[in-house]
Amino acid sequence: MAIDVKIPAVGESITTGTIAQWHQSNGAQVKEGDPLLTLETDKVSNELEAEASGVLQILAEEGAEVEIGSVVATIDPAGASAQPPQEEKAEPDPEPMKPAAETDSGKDTVPVSPTVREFAKEKGVDLTKVEGTGRKGFITKADVESALSLAKADLGSKELTVFQKPEITPAETSEETRFTRQKMSPLRRKIATHLVNAQHTAAILTTFNECDMSAVMAMRKRLQDAFTAKHDVKLGFMSFFVKAVVDALKTVPSVNARIDGDDMIFNHYFDIGVAVGTKRGLIVPVLRDCDAKSFAQIEKDIRVYAEKARDGKIEFSDLQGGVFTISNGGVYGSMLSTPILNPPQSGILGMHNIQQRPIAVDGEVVIRPMMYLALSYDHRIVDGKEAVTFLNRVKDCIENPARLLVEA
């Protein structure tokens, strides 16, 4: 009996994905564990592997948008047993594919996914000059970035040919040189749909405050060397904010809730999503059980996710189950913003850059490192008073970080 190859469930609110690439041809003999396809969503790309050995029958074309749970192929185990034993022995193990020159006819192509091909095109990198380190010789985004770095470091080398030569097209001699029309990628379309749906399905309101970062910065500076030596990870600002958010969620339980039809579901756990910027866009991996974790463990988890995001190894399970999100636009220089909710969550905290500003303290004007905070929340379930209380609690914990240690 044929085994169905189904698109697995992904993060909340993600209902479809795009088949970026089939790694096997229709009718191919596959073995258990062989990569079948690369699936892209608005957050991550992931490889699906064969669950059994047999003959592959592809039902959905490459580039097709498919629903979660839909059957995109079948594997017939009977096809495996029908193959003569001597044929299997005679067939050599597949060797890693070598990058082949891309021709105008399109018959010989570089082994690379559409996403990486588009990235290389944007950077002007000739993929025929890039050596793939992925499975079966596939070129990854890291390979392109590595080739780009080597090219920039050695622009004087005559042997260096990684950059593509610009091609003059008829369009460049017409009026269309004043603009470029480009079709939105499936990934960009999904991000756009996700953001619009968030705006349409929730009553989003944002409240603001500011906090004095002096105490956190002083504590961080005082403990940094000992903390790093003991835990092999630096003490960052994010662990303070994660702990402050957990404290605020305990103080205002309605922010740790969500709407499901006519019901309100109150969460009794504290899985906090931390937005991480990648070249593919913003993703939100989830830190589990933050109420039970130390500052060091939170920082280590953040580092692991950052490395996985950089290497394109974020998994679907890493993005599931968050109850609240923290987004740090300050790393890009943002002074103030109104973050958009990550459905079905009811709250998201926006951090911003730290600036030296004059403020009044005990009747005197002093210069302090200040950060604006923004809390966007679903007004259907969180009242204004509760939102302000929540944000004030976060502010108090950051300005008095000792509270986080003694839970005062």
Catalytic-residue membership of 231: no
> Considering 154, 289, 311, 383, which one is annotated as catalytic?
383
Spell out a b/e string for 143-182, using b for 16 or more CB atoms within 10 Å of the CB, else e: bbbebbeebeeeeeeeeeebbeeeeeeeeeeeeeeeeeee
Sheet architecture: strand order including 71-76: 3-6, 71-76, 54-58, 29-30
Q: Strand, coil or helix: what is 357?
A: strand
Collapsed DSSP state (helix, strand, coil) of residue 274:
strand
- Report the C-alpha gap between 160 and 369 in whole angstroms: 47
Per-residue DSSP letters for 369-386?
EEEEEEEEEETTTS-HHH
> Measured between alpha carbons, how far is 260 from 37 in angstroms, rounded to an integer?
33
* Nearest-angstrom CA–CA distance, 372 and 359: 13
The candidate with the shortest Cα–Cα distance to 238, out of 322, 166, 306, is 306
Contacts 24+ apart (CB under 8 A), 118-126: 118/185, 119/144, 119/279, 120/144, 123/148, 124/163, 124/164, 125/151, 125/162, 125/163, 125/164, 126/161, 126/162, 126/163, 126/164
Dist. CA 17–CA 9, nearest whole Å: 10
Contacts of 46 (CB under 8 A, 6+ apart): 38, 39, 315, 316
d(C-alpha 321, C-alpha 238), whole Å: 19
Helix runs in 166-284, H state only: 186-201, 214-231, 237-251
**What is the distance between the alpha carbons of residues 10 and 364, in angstroms, rounded to a whole number?**
53
Is 383 an active-site residue? yes
Give me the count of residues in the chain.
408
DSSP run (H or E) holding 37: strand 35-40
Return the closest-CA partner of residue 251 out of 137, 125, 394, 369. 394
Q: Which of 194, 231, 271, 379 is catalytic?
A: 379
Question: Looking up tokens 């923004």, which residue turns up?
Answer: 374
Q: Are 319 and 286 in contact (CB under 8 A)?
A: yes
| Catalytic residue annotation | 379, 383
